[in-house]
Structure formats: structure tokens, C-alpha cells
Chain A
Amino acid sequence: MVRGFYSAAAGVLSQQKAIDVISNNIANTTTTGYKSQSTVETSFGEHLVSRMSASPGTAEKNIGPGSFMTANIETYTDFSQGTLEYTGRNVDMAIQGEGFFLVDSEKYGEVLTRNGRFELDEDGDLVLPGVGKVLNDRRREINLESSSFAVGADGTIYEDGHEVDTLFIAVGEEDFQLTNIGQDVFIGSGGYQRADEESFNVIQASIEKANVNMAKELSRIIAGQGHFQSCAQILKIYDKINELSVNRIGNLD
């Protein structure tokens, strides 16, 4: 088959995957602590293209490098700060600045999140609903008497004016990689430690909104869709060429 046929098909596939990721961003514009993602598309496998010819004198043999495919190599997550929204609920928290809340998930072990829509469970432990218990500076659950507690900017929790616990605000060490596993939580590979108190503020009764930029996402959708359609059009043209070469060239009439 003509080489361009496969290149166009790869273009269609990679745009389809890019749209999947953009669509997820747009769906999560109201998700607490959501961090927007984008795919990185790249050319794949540079090849030295050369012309096959029986008589080398007629044309230059080497045409130069070319790439036949485009592929999505990775999903990139944008960890920039989302805007804060006041909710008036004492159990909600947001981090301004660096760091993540540390949550003990039954399924994944210790996970990191920027989603501070917490609740108290029946034992009085601070939990992230659907994920697990929020951990303190000693990596234990945080047990509270009642929901009328106060949180200081450094993550210290006060009950009736007495210090009772401190939130673990985690930052990664060098070579730290975060993998998004959904439900607004990340698994960190490589170690993490407590963040420097100066580098963040914990804000009570507020949540961090998603950092999705709608204008950017929608223009990407439009561009992606256009790209997708162009690739599909090229596919059609190649199809036509193949059709012509099969039906016309061999015809001796």
C-alpha cells in the first residue's frame, strides 16, 4: 500500500486519543483538586528515505529523513494551582502552594491528593470519601472529637484551642514521579517528605477548584477535530488513488 495511507491512519488514531484526554479535562472542570492533563504527540521512528531505482543516474538516491507515524508518547499533567472556593464547611480544606494531602487508600496504599473535600467517618476519623483516611505527620489516621475543629495555615489541627494533630503535607524528593490513578489521587514513586512550612498554606472551609482552562481545552478540541478530519480526508484521497491505480492503469482499452 502507499506509505502515506498508514501515516494518515496514525494521525487519526493519535488525534482520537488526544480528544479522549481533552474530553476528560472538560468533564472535570468542577472536580475538586483536579489537575488538567494533555497528551504529547510526537513523530515516531525517523527513517532515511531513499528512492529505489534501477538507474541511479536519473535521480538522487537519498531523499533525506522522514517520519511516517505520529504517536502519543505520554500524558502530561499540569500541577499549577487551581483557584480556591469558600464552601463554609468546616471539614473542607485546600492547599495553597506546594504539597499534597496524604491519604491511606485501601486499594493503593498511601496516595497523594489535592482534593480536600473531607468528611468525618463514624469513628471520628478524617476521611476522603471513596478513597480512605487522611494521614497525620506520623502517617497515622487523624481522630477528632467533633467536626468543629480549626486548622492552622501550617496544617496543625486544633480542638477547643488545643493542638491535637498535624496534617501530613507531602512534597516529592528528587526523581519524584506522580501517576494519576483517577478519583483525584496520585501514586508517587520515589520518596516524599513533609513540605517546608513556608511553602504552603492550608486553608480551612475552602476547596481548590480544577485548574482546567476552558478556552485552551475548547480550542484544542476544535484543532484536534480539524486535524482528525484532515487525516481522514487524506485517507480518502489515498483510497481514491488506490482505486484509480487498480481500475485504470491496468486497463489497456
Chain B
Amino acid sequence: MIRGFYTAASSLTAQQTNLDVIANNVANISTTGFKPQQVGFSSLLQENINGGAGNTISVGHGIKVGKTGLNLTQGDLKKTDMPLDFAIMGEGFFAVESEESGDITYTRDGSFRSLIDGRRNYLADTSGNYVLDARERKIELGEDFDYRQIGVFQFSNPYGLELSGGNRFSPTEVSGDPEDIDEPDIKVGYLENSAVQMAEEMVKMIEASKGFSFGSRVLQAADEMERTMNQLR
């Protein structure tokens, strides 16, 4: 088969992944504290082939999805006036602990609520995970509750965080260990909007869909050339 056929096919799969990621960003346009992702592409290996008459020419084999990266730009703050809504200005993440597994994950989503556990009343996120303080303890919602108790953690390389679903991140070897921030800038009665820029995503979507259709046009051309060859006899 003509190499170009497979090259074009690789572009279709890559653009599909690109579109999947863009669709996820667009779907989360109103998710509190959401950070958009970007797909990074890389070209496949080049090969030297016989160009005819003893010449070699170099031909590439298409494209692959290299890595999806996080864009950690600050989202706009939205005033809600709710006492248990919090937003972080600048760097950092809230830490939440899962009730079942005890795993600690990190999020920018500060829409918290109270969770009654027996006779005690704890601060928790919307999925029922406990919000932790700077020393990774649960925070009790008593009369002496102060928003300054809420812990905010930062990572040396937040781009290395792993998405663990539900708008939460898990630390990895690459991201480094969480460190609590002294006097973080937490705004009470505010939520951080999704950092997705609609116009930007739309432009990327057009780019991905055009890339896809150009790729399929090449696939078609390669197919027609194959047919021409088949009809030689």
C-alpha cells in the first residue's frame, strides 16, 4: 500500500484524540475550578527510502499524540455570597480526603458544604470528601470555625499532576510532594470559574476538524491511487 495512506490514517486518529480533549474542555465550561487540557503532538519517525536512481529520500510516517498537558491559568472569580464557598487566588490547591479509601487528592473547586458524621459536623466537598487543613486533618464546622484553617497546598511542578477524575488531581513523582502555603489568599463567598476560554477552544476545534478533513482527503487520494493501480489490467 502507499505509505501516505497510513500517514493520513495516523492524522485521523490524532485529530480524533485532539477533538475528544477539546470536547471535554468545552463540556466543562461551567465546572468550578476546572483547568483545561491541551494535546501535544509529535511527528513519527522519518525513514530513508529509495528515491529511484540510487538517491535516498526521507519520508515521515505521520503524527502521534505525545502528551496532554494542563493549563493552570487562574479562572475568574464569581461572587456567590455563600459562607462555604471558597476560591484560591494565585497558586495552590485544596486538599480533600476520600471517606472510603482515605486517599488525599487536590482540587481548585472550593464549593464546600457541611457533612454530618455522627454528632460531628465536618467541612466537605460536593462529592462528600473531607476538606483538610494545613496539617492534613479534617476541619470541624463549629462556632470557632475560621476559613484560615483550610489548607492550601502547592507543588513544585503542578504540570506533573495526574487527573484522578471529579475535577481532582493526584500528586506524582514528577509533580513533587505537596507543601502547605503560609497565609494563602482564600476568598470567602467566591468560586473560581472554569479557566476554559470558549473562543480559544472553538478555534482549536475548527483546527482539529479541518485537520481531520484534510487527512481524510489525503486518505481518499491514496485510495483512488490504489484503485488506479488495480485497474491497470
Which residues of A are in contact with B by a Cβ distance under 8 Å?
10, 12-14, 16-17, 19-24, 26-32, 34, 37, 39, 44-45, 69-75, 87-92, 115, 117, 119-122, 124, 129-130, 145-148, 179-184, 214, 217-218, 221-222, 225, 228-229, 232, 235-236, 239
Contact = CB atoms under 8 A, between A and B. Distances in A.
Contact of A19 (B156, B222, B229): B222
Contacts of A69: 52-53
B14 interface: yes
A147 B156 contact: yes
Given A146-B156, A239-B232, A31 B71 contact: no
Contacts of A91: 159
B3 A87 contact: no
Contact of B66 (A26, A75, A129, A225): A129
B107 interface: no
Contact of A10 (B52, B91, B176): B52
A29 B214 CA distance: 10
Contacts, number: 213
Contact of A117 (B40, B210, B224): B40
12 contacts: A24-B60, A26-B217, A27-B62, A28-B43, A30-B15, A32-B42, A88-B73, A120-B157, A146-B176, A179-B58, A218-B217, A228-B228
Given A20-B7, A89-B71, A147-B159, A37 B60 contact: yes
Given A17-B51, A122-B173, A235-B232, A147 B157 contact: yes
B207 interface: yes
A115 B42 contact: yes
Taking each of B7, B211, B217, which has the highest tally of chain A beta carbons within 10 Å of its own beta carbon?
Answer: B7
A32 B157 contact: no
Given A17-B51, A27-B11, A182 B157 contact: no
Interface in B158-172: 158-160, 172
Interface in B1-27: 2-5, 7-8, 10-11, 14-15, 18
Given A89-B71, A225-B221, A235-B232, A34 B43 contact: yes
A218 B216 CA distance: 12
Nearest to B10: A27
A120 B51 CA distance: 40
A71 B43 contact: no
A51 to B, nearest CB: 25
A130 B66 contact: yes
B218 interface: yes
A136 to B, nearest CB: 18
Contacts of B45: 181-183
B8 A27 contact: yes
Contact of A23 (B3, B72, B174): B3
Contact of B46 (A122, A181, A218): A181
B225 interface: yes
A71 B233 CA distance: 25
B43 to A, nearest CB: 5
Contacts of B62: 23-24, 27-28
B38 interface: yes
Contacts of B55: 71-74
B53 to A, nearest CB: 4
Given A20-B4, A28-B62, A218-B217, 8 more contacts: A21-B57, A22-B218, A23-B4, A24-B60, A27-B215, A122-B173, A182-B44, A239-B233
